[in-house]
Structure 1
Amino acid sequence: MVKKIFILVLIVCVVGVVFVIRSRLNSPMQIVTIGSTTIAVDVADTEALRNRGLSGRSDLPGGDSVSPDTYPQSFTPGEPARYALEIPAGFAQAHGIAEGDVLVRQ
């Protein structure tokens, strides 16, 4: 009897772990680390999400917002980028992040 209960508890634990891992993988919010800086980011990993961008949001975390009088200047890179991490002005300098630093997605 104890053996059956142990097996049942083990199965429930495995199913729980699988559920947690799958829900984290399917979440648009991910955690990335650059050096000692940890950042919560939204991952736009499909064409539809990239096209949607930040539209449809009622607010942005951390008080970040853009209004018509604060639009940033446009920047068009000379070559297409495979990845982009959008952060507020001065964030990289304040956290010691430099070109070439490695970003780790957890």
Structure 2
Amino acid sequence: MLASLAVLFTPASGVPDAPPGTDKVVHLVLFAALAASGRIARIPVLLPGLAAYAVVSEVLQVTLPLGRSFELADIGVDLAGALAGWSAVALARRRRPRSVVAPARRG
């Protein structure tokens, strides 16, 4: 969460130049990591919380004196990343072999 705050709220002057589209990749990976780690931690109402965070972060980027802009596409990529992270954990849990519990001995 702290890394996302640093990434999303760094003033424009502190954001390094990057090839076009890098911003979207950063948003995707960031929200995928938030969703995956949140799901592993079993945080309740995770996806609605991340959806709200995606919207609020974009609004704050344009509202605060950061020199950043509001991009509706960033919100979409954030949501896609959150769903990807959530799904990756679900898939990993399904593929993980379940431990077999031996039946209790009688006697």
TM-score using structure 1 length: 0.24
Higher relative helix content? 2
TM-score using structure 2 length: 0.24
Pair member with larger Rg: 1
